[in-house]
Amino acid sequence: MDNKNHFESKVSDFLEALRKAGYSESTIRQYKKTCRLFIVYMDINYIQDCNVESINVFLRTMPQEKNAVDTWNQLSITAIR
């Protein structure tokens, strides 16, 4: 299995765990969007390993407004973990 399929499989597992934990579909959709953006980011940038550095660089590419950054970063960190 290649990295992209591996991460997509992990995202599916993560989303299923959120459903079982009772998260709202709106929250699940947002996490799904964030995870998919991270997978695309990794693919475009030829990143083979998900690590703290790749996550931090990904987060720095997100919106630059202070409130948007704080919200986006928290959501992204939670989704990627």
Phi, psi at 6, each rounded to 5°: -60, -50
pLDDT at 65: 44
For 6-40, what is each residue's pLDDT tens digit?
Answer: 788 888 999 999 999 999 999 999 889 888 888 88
Tell me how far apart the alpha carbons of residues 75 and 81 are, in angstroms, rounded to a whole number. Answer: 10
Residues shown for the chain: 81
For 51-79, what is each residue's pLDDT tens digit?
Answer: 888 888 888 877 654 455 566 666 666 76
Structural domain boundaries enclosing 15: 3-80
Hey, what are 10's tokens? Answer: 């992990």
Residue 2: alpha-carbon gap to chain centroid? 18
pLDDT at 25: 94
Residue of 49, 81, 61, 13 whose CA lies nearest to 72: 61
> Domain total for the chain?
1
